[in-house]
Amino acid sequence: MAEIPAACLIGWPAAHSRSPLIHKYWLKSFGIDGDYRIEAVEPAAFANFIRDLAARGYRGANVTIPHKEQALACALPDARARMVGAANTLFFDNDGELRSTNTDVEGFIGNLDASAPGWDTAEDVLVLGAGGSSRAVIFGLIERGIQRVHLANRTAARTRALADQFGAQVQPLAWDAIDTVLPRVGLLVNTTSLGMKGQPPLAVDVTLLPPTATVADLVYVPLETRRWSRYAAASGRARIRTVVRQAAGGHTRTARAGRSGSGEVVCLQM
pLDDT tens track, the chain, 270 positions = 457 889 999 999 887 677 778 778 888 888 888 899 999 999 999 999 999 999 999 999 999 888 999 999 999 999 999 999 999 999 999 999 999 999 889 888 988 898 889 999 999 999 999 988 899 999 999 999 999 999 999 999 999 999 999 999 999 999 999 999 999 999 999 888 765 666 667 788 888 999 889 888 876 544 455 455 555 545 545 444 444 444 444 444 444 444 333 233 333 333
Helix (H) or strand (E) run with residue 173 in it: strand 170-173
Is 269 inside a domain boundary? Answer: no
Q: What is the largest CA-CA distance in the chain?
A: 62
The full length of the chain comes to 270
Residue 167 CB neighbour total at 10 angstroms? 8
What is the CATH classification number for the domain harbouring 194? 3.40.50.720
Strand pairing partners for 58? 6
Is 88 inside a domain boundary? Answer: yes
Are 229 and 248 within one domain? no
Is 109 inside a domain boundary? Answer: no
Nearest to 11 by CA among 37, 30, 33: 37
pLDDT at residue number 3: 76
Helices 156-166, 132-144: axis angle to 10 degrees equals: 30
- Residues 66, 77: Cα–Cα separation, whole Å: 18
Is 214 inside a domain boundary? Answer: yes
Report the half-sphere exposure of 181 (CA within 13 A, side-chain side): 23
Give 209's contacts (C-beta < 8 A, 6+ positions apart): 182, 183, 185, 188, 215, 231, 235
Are 230 and 132 within one domain? yes
Are 74 and 149 within one domain? no
Is 16 inside a domain boundary? Answer: yes
Is 1 inside a domain boundary? Answer: no
3-class DSSP state for residue 11? strand
What is the CATH classification number for the domain harbouring 85? 3.40.50.10860
Are 132 and 230 within one domain? yes
- Residues 160, 14: Cα–Cα separation, whole Å: 28
- Residues 93, 95: Cα–Cα separation, whole Å: 5
Are 149 and 98 within one domain? no
- Does residue 89 contact residue 63 with C-beta atoms inside 8 Å? yes
β-strand pairing of 58-63 with 89-92: antiparallel
Is 110 inside a domain boundary? Answer: no
Are 192 and 215 within one domain? yes
Are 45 and 141 within one domain? no
- Residues 128, 227: Cα–Cα separation, whole Å: 16
Are 26 and 69 within one domain? yes
Active site residues: 68
Are 128 and 213 within one domain? yes
pLDDT at residue number 206: 86
Are 182 and 79 within one domain? no
- 238: DSSP letter: P
Are 142 and 231 within one domain? yes
Are 55 and 72 within one domain? yes
Q: Provide the residue range defining the domain that includes 67.
A: 6-103+244-264
- Residues 17, 64: Cα–Cα separation, whole Å: 9
Is 23 inside a domain boundary? Answer: yes
Quote the number of domains for the chain: 2
Q: Is the dihedral of CA 3, 71, 114, 256 positive or negative?
A: negative
- Does residue 149 contact residue 141 with C-beta atoms inside 8 Å? yes
- Residues 265, 23: Cα–Cα separation, whole Å: 9
Q: In what order do the strands lie in the sheet with 214-217?
A: 170-173, 149-152, 125-128, 187-190, 214-217, 239-240
